Amino acid sequence: MARRRRNAQLVGLAGFGLAAALPPALWHRAIGAIASDFRLEVEYLVTGWTGYGLIGAGLLFLVPVVVSIGRSPESRLYPRSRNAYAGWGVVLYLLGVALASQVAAVTAVHPV
């Protein structure tokens, strides 16, 4: 039983690490292009960084889910609304990936 719990925790942690490392690995050029022309304007912040903000928010919602893998629902580290956290995390992450891929496509067509 402890071995299955440990394996589930390791798989969850590896999946979370992969989800966190994937955006910089895929879109490092787009992130660099957006960051090189940094300015504090609403239009710039909304159009350039929203996708990456959604990805970050999705990852933050997934942290309690990853921490609670393999734990009993009576544990103090088991969130009451674990399924809601998982749902919000996945949805925000996927929306961010979709938007970030569009921003990356635009920066590839129109280099800064």
How many domains is the chain partitioned into structurally? 1
Q: 91 versus 72: which is more confidently predicted? A: 91
The residue range of the domain holding 27 is 2-109
pLDDT in tens, 84-108: 999 999 999 999 999 999 988 888 7
Give the pLDDT confidence score for residue 76 in this predicted structure.
Answer: 84
Write the DSSP assignment of 24-87 as a string of letters: HHHHHHHHHHHHHT----HHHHHHHHHHHHHHHHHHHHHHHHHHTTT--TTSTTS-TTHHHHHH
State how far the Cα of 77 lies from the Cα of 10, in Å rounded to an integer.
Answer: 17
